[in-house]
Structure 1
Amino acid sequence: MENFAFLFQGFSVALLPANILAALAGAFMGIVVGAMPGIGSLAGCSLLLPLTFHMNPTTGIIMLAGIYYGNMYGGAFSAILLNIPGDAPAVMTALDGYAMTKKGKAGKALFAANFASFLGGTIGIIILTVLAPTLAKVGLKFGPAEMVSLLLLAFCSIGWMMGEDPKYGLISTFLGAMLALVGMDPVNGQLRFTGGNVNLYSGLTFIPIVIGMFGFSQVIEMMTNRAEFNFLGGEKLTIKGSLLTKEEIKGVAPNAVRSGLLGCFIGILPGAGATIASFLCYMTGKKVSKRGKDFGTGVVQGIACSEGANNAAAAGAFAPLLSLGLPGSGTAAVLLGGLMMWGLQPGPRLFTEQADFCWGLLASMYIGNVICIIIAIAVIPFLTKILKVPAGIMAPIIMTLCVVGAYAANNNIFDVYVMIIAGFVAYFLNKSKYPIAPLLLAFVLTSTLETALSQAFKINGGSPSIFFTKPISLGLLIAMLLLILVPVIAKKVNPKKAAE
């Protein structure tokens, strides 16, 4: 209860006119940046950090925090309407969101995403308010061994549970891991699979690949099969027409709440972040939801799992940042730099020595979350113009966005070539029934897995026993084995039921 007393004190800081304007500006810029492929929260916060140099520290961090969680809302827009995720956490949203757009339900998909984002974000902020110092200490128990086991569980979930056939999902996962190995080894600095091309020394960049595989592949599909994309000219979006029915709310709410709880915990883990939270919560929802079998075909439950998780994870990332000075993601590292720039040292004493700052920030997150959903819902009618554009005109527009987004990642024309190649690869993989999402997820997670694996072996003198002697790591490995073995055993014991 003491924390809530501090929170009410924080509202007296957050409700100052300058801080409300900062939250509003940050949320708006975050949504805009999130909806633009190729930028994302990390680049957005980095580019806009100089705007806060001369601000009061509390006002400045409120604006940067608004950009961070506003980006989570905005990433769903382009993912749902154009099948181009604005950032990595929105990849899972695109699976069901774009499928709903193709069914003429873009408005409902956007509303479901916003509603789930609000629920997940609110849950994450409440947990952060009550348990921030405690959560940070729990996160410290996740060392390299635990992170390896968690990522192995994620890999198995991705490959085994996505796609029409598990073997196709596993092959896609393997391809994604192979692509992630291109470039310099993060441990010893050796070059791998570069073919002497200097552009590959730093590895392949995620943004051009995701834009190519989700966006440019759709351009190819539009040009080869125009009739399938007539939905782009049919729907008129209104707020009233986008409202969810009672049944749809019942589908969104529990999935968003569950993903919010799990996503917040994943968000506090150093190196995990919203991307892993979105992936794992989507796979969890696919397993436990009543409509889990329909995930990926255009159901609000799938959107709820992804959006609830990434917004809660964004809130959870503040626990280790404020309590221990440990950034849980690249964006959190930018926020840490901002704190140090203002002369503030994150750590256990921050909540006592800078109470107004910490609790003012937490209070502003409640306000910012409300601002985000109001802005996100208000723009739904204006998005109707995107859906009215004929496919013949939409294709070159999307192509232009793809080129600009890929180039903006590193200001390098080579990334545009990577994007185009990735688009053709994704097009042929889709035609061959290979799912794209496992490839992208494996590509994102492999670098983290590789680094954690190396650290774990160094800690234990090269012995793999560390993975079996730590309780959390062992528990995650057992969960991974059960994930693989239970469906196989069930299929042999009762083939008909397993097929269903």
Structure 2
Amino acid sequence: METLNFLLHGFSVALMPEHLLYAAIGALLGTLIGALPGLGPANGVAILIPLAFSLGLSPAASMILLTSVYAGAMYGGRISSILLNIPGDEPAMMTTLDGYPMAMQGKAAEALAISAIASFIGSLLATIGLIILAPILARFALHFGPAEYFALFSLAFATLGGVTGKNQVKTVVAAALGLMISTVGVDISTGNQRYTYNILELYEGVDFIIAIVGLFAVSELMFFIERHISEGAGSATLNKLNLKMSDILHILPTSLRGSVLGFISGVLPGAGASLGSFISYSLEKKVVGSKGYFGKGDPRGIAAPEAGNNAAANGALVPMLTLGVPGSGTTAVLLAMLISLNVQPGPMLFTQNAELVWGVIAALLVGNIMLLILNIPMVGLFVKLLSIPPKYLMPVVTLIAAVGIYSISNSALDLYFMVGFGLVGYLLRKLEVPLVPVILGMLLGPEMERSLRHALTISDGDWSILFSSGLSIGIWTVAIAGLALPYILGPVLRRRMENARARMEIEEEAD
């Protein structure tokens, strides 16, 4: 009953006219960003963070705008997957297996509509799961002490291999780089300067909003210029939509199964939307068996991964809001936004900032309805966007980010830092070093250091306090498993995904 009262109060926040406007703008911009191959939700949210600051939005309005962008980008990723056979982001890769063949059969409109409906079901069920599970997990996390929090932060870094899908060693190097950057500034315990080099602007540390925009937006501009400077994606034609109620009922069980699997993947640290879409597609293929024609344009092959990856995206908000530990790259960016708004994610968020957190959750429910309404009749607009050459689009996007950064502090030095982080991000991406661990190290580093110092102060310097409770031992055990599992399961999952795509290509050539 208490949760229901909080949710009703959240709707009173989410349904304020200005918040509805920000949710609609975020949903539209997110879908547009998601439709562009390569950008993805993390880049979309990172690019628009300066806009939220420059407009002087309240914490609730800022988070409603950015979470709507997040949800919209997850929807939008399917558009280029179905029409161009180019995944908008990694979780949308499985959608290409049946989405593109269905489009080649003259059913592109039906494929896009089915994917929108499945995305809606996945997001809706995951948001309901968030409403039920998050308060329970938050109450449980109130029992955490500094030793348990240090173990929890270690768990977040241990499972980064699953979030990024990259080489574990490179992931650790990236996380270490982020932790190093987080130590820049004046030590709050001793008052000593650390790596400031007498630069006044570094006394308060490196602003992670600048780092995020540089690492994601500026490096993305450099990558697009290098790879796609003369390319346009080409226009795609749509047939007239002819979707019957029987078609929707046909994919409903698939969407429900995919939503449950996706939500579980999102809640688990390090699993993420890519795993959610893969296991949803794989399970559905086994459930349907010989009755299906997966890889040849089966609508259930679109519904399963779309429900799975959208449910996983919302599920990843659970550990971010309740524990302050992001479950995906995009939630790491959202976590940075919360911290920059002086809102500390964690178990106390649901009591100290109940209006904010429940307003955001209610806005997710409202935003899902908006996205369903937007994505079916306005899909033609999103298709037109795919024909814009990146050499025109990306500089405009980066200019918006730069203006937003300057408007926050009116400091030219921040722009230099942004460009510097962009160069670093470009080099790291060229070396195939993931960027998310760098951001996560910058975000969690200060709290991790405080937890460690607090624990050692309580124990008078005895390190055994870090392993003194059953809860901390359990977290450390999961962390060790998180380090090991990517080596065991990662190659198997990647090989299966590659095999599924190769089989589809072979069958296409045979036809």
Asked if these proteins are the same fold (TM beyond 0.5), I'd say: yes
Give the distance between the partners of 1:162 and 1:347, measured in 2 at CA.
32
Give the distance between the partners of 1:175 and 1:302, measured in 2 at CA.
34
Give the distance between the partners of 2:120 and 2:189, measured in 1 at CA.
36
Tell me if structure 2 keeps the 8 A contact 1:160–1:169.
no
Give the distance between the partners of 2:28 and 2:191, measured in 1 at CA.
37
**2:56 corresponds to which of 47, 64, 69:** 47
Give the distance between the partners of 1:81 and 1:235, measured in 2 at CA.
10
Q: Look up the equivalent residue of 1:308 and give its one-letter code.
A: A
1:124 aligns with 2:127: yes
What aligned pairs does 1:299-310 form with structure 2 within 5 A after superposition? 307-310=310-313
Tell me if structure 2 keeps the 8 A contact 1:262–1:281.
yes
Tell me if structure 1 keeps the 8 A contact 2:77–2:89.
yes
What aligned pairs does 1:479-498 form with structure 2 within 5 A after superposition? 479-485=478-484
Q: Look up the equivalent residue of 1:464 and give its one-letter code.
A: W
Deviation by residue 1:279-324 (Cα, 9 ceiling, x = unmatched):
55358759977879xxxxxx9999877753553465788889xxxx
What aligned pairs does 1:30-429 form with structure 2 within 5 A after superposition? 30-31=26-27, 37-40=46-49, 43=52, 47-49=56-58, 66-67=64-65, 69-74=67-72, 96=91, 116=119, 119-120=122-123, 122-126=125-129, 128=131, 130=132, 134-159=136-161, 162=164, 165-185=167-187, 187-226=189-228, 230-235=231-236, 256-261=259-264, 281=272, 307-312=310-315, 331=338, 366-375=365-374, 379-429=378-428
- In structure 2, relative to structure 1, the CA distance for the partners of 1:457 and 1:66 (3 Å cut) is same
Q: Gaps (5+ residues) in structure 1?
A: 51-60, 83-92, 267-276, 293-298, 321-327, 338-345
- In structure 2, relative to structure 1, the CA distance for the partners of 1:330 and 1:147 (3 Å cut) is farther
Tell me if structure 1 keeps the 8 A contact 2:232–2:388.
no
Deviation, structure 1 residue 140 = 0.9
1:470 aligns with 2:448: no
Deviation by residue 1:47-96 (Cα, 9 ceiling, x = unmatched):
3449xxxxxxxxxx8x78854743432565899999xxxxxxxxxx9555
Q: Equivalent residue for 2:453?
A: 454
Q: Equivalent residue for 2:436?
A: 437
Deviation, structure 1 residue 155 = 1.1
Give the distance between the partners of 2:142 and 2:463, measured in 1 at CA.
21
Tell me if structure 2 keeps the 8 A contact 1:72–1:311.
no
Give the distance between the partners of 1:450 and 1:252, measured in 2 at CA.
43
Deviation, structure 1 residue 477 = 0.6
- RMSD over aligned CA atoms reads 5.8
Provide TM-score, normalisation by structure 1: 0.62
Tell me if structure 2 keeps the 8 A contact 1:125–1:362.
no
Q: Gaps (5+ residues) in structure 2?
A: 31-43, 81-87, 284-301, 324-334, 345-349, 500-511
Q: Look up the equivalent residue of 1:72 and give its one-letter code.
A: Y
Give the distance between the partners of 1:71 and 1:133, measured in 2 at CA.
24
Give the distance between the partners of 2:195 and 2:336, measured in 1 at CA.
27
**2:21 corresponds to which of 14, 25, 28:** 25
Give the distance between the partners of 2:49 and 2:217, measured in 1 at CA.
16
SS for the counterpart of 1:388 is coil
Q: Look up the equivalent residue of 1:125 and give its one-letter code.
A: I
Tell me if structure 2 keeps the 8 A contact 1:182–1:203.
yes
Q: Look up the equivalent residue of 2:260 and give its one-letter code.
A: V
Deviation by residue 1:322-344 (Cα, 9 ceiling, x = unmatched):
xxxxxx9964997999xxxxxxx
Deviation, structure 1 residue 418 = 2.0
Q: Look up the equivalent residue of 2:272 and give its one-letter code.
A: C
Aligned residues: 429
Deviation by residue 1:129-178 (Cα, 9 ceiling, x = unmatched):
x5676444213123332222122122122258745533223222222222
- In structure 2, relative to structure 1, the CA distance for the partners of 1:100 and 1:235 (3 Å cut) is farther
Tell me if structure 2 keeps the 8 A contact 1:7–1:362.
no
SS for the counterpart of 2:231 is helix
